[in-house]
Structure 1
Amino acid sequence: MAGPDARPEPRPGPGSGPTVADHREYTAIARSEEFGRLRRRHHGFAFPWTIAFLAWYLLYVVCANWAPGLMSTKVAGNVNVALVWGLLQFLSTFVIAFLYSRHARRHLDPVAGELNDRFENARSQQGATR
């Protein structure tokens, strides 16, 4: 927490935001093969796992509503299938998050870093020519 003598961060003045050249460079990067590869890698992971998780979750909901005999089956003591399945929903969420993190670190971050470096280099060259 900031003390009483803390000053607010200075706000950028007019003209310090993105320039037309920044937008041109971004557009060029967005149309590049590397950016297309980045999008395909992201979509190749995100869409199948999202569909799989939603199917898994909806199956749980369907069984909870229309298969109460299955869901109330005792597994151990007072623990039934519904409780185990519900806990597995949480576990699967963490597993998918871990897998995405690993996928991003290995396959997305290197390409995104290259694209960001390219953008920053273009921006710094533009600033040097002003």
Structure 2
Amino acid sequence: MSSPSPRSTGSIDYEQVQASPEFQELRGRLRRFVFPMTAIFLTWYLVYVGLASYAPGFMSFQVFGTITVGLLVGLGQFVSTFVITTLYVRFAEREIDGPAAELRERVEAGMAGNGEVRA
């Protein structure tokens, strides 16, 4: 006894959607943003940890009053996190959300018709 195929039950064939050129383009756009941004952030973080570990004299240098280079670089980690988040939100709104919504609507419309997914 075999189980019914996704098309015969009216469910979405996600493998077919994933293989579609539109989905692959969206996935590529996302990767072209996320991977470099992740590499930049991890490098920046490792530089901070490395400086804290191997250059304590530099990190304890007082810039003004009791504010040190280490404190400024540490606060810079928070600032860079918010900057990256803001850049990602803008990128997603501009490059990902619209085409993803269009693809989803086409897939759902294809299911409402004859049960065959048209991505």
TM-score by length of 1: 0.78
Match of 2:19 in 1: 31
Give aligned pairs, total.
108
Residue 91 of structure 1 deviates from its aligned partner by 0.4
Deviations 1:71-106 (A, max 9, x none): 001111000000000001000000000000000000
Q: 1:120 aligns to what SS in structure 2?
A: helix
Q: Post-superposition, which runs of at least 4 consecutive aligned residues in structure 1 deviate over 6 A?
A: none
Percent identity between matched residues is: 45
Contact residue 12 and residue 111 of structure 2 kept, 8 A: no
Residue 27 of structure 1 deviates from its aligned partner by 2.4
Query: What are the equivalent positions in structure 2 for 1:1-130 lying under 5 Å apart?
Result: 20-21=6-7, 22-24=11-13, 26-126=14-114
TM-score by length of 2: 0.85
Deviations 1:38-58 (A, max 9, x none): 011000000000000000000
Q: What letter matches 1:77 in structure 2?
A: G
Name the Cα RMSD after superposition.
1.4
> Whole-Å Cα distance in 2 between the matches of residues 126 and 91 of structure 1?
51
> Whole-Å Cα distance in 2 between the matches of residues 28 and 54 of structure 1?
35
> Whole-Å Cα distance in 2 between the matches of residues 72 and 83 of structure 1?
8
Deviations 1:99-130 (A, max 9, x none): 00000000011110111001110222247xxx
> Whole-Å Cα distance in 1 between the matches of residues 32 and 92 of structure 2?
12
> Whole-Å Cα distance in 1 between the matches of residues 39 and 29 of structure 2?
16
Q: Which runs of 5+ in 2 are unaligned?
A: none
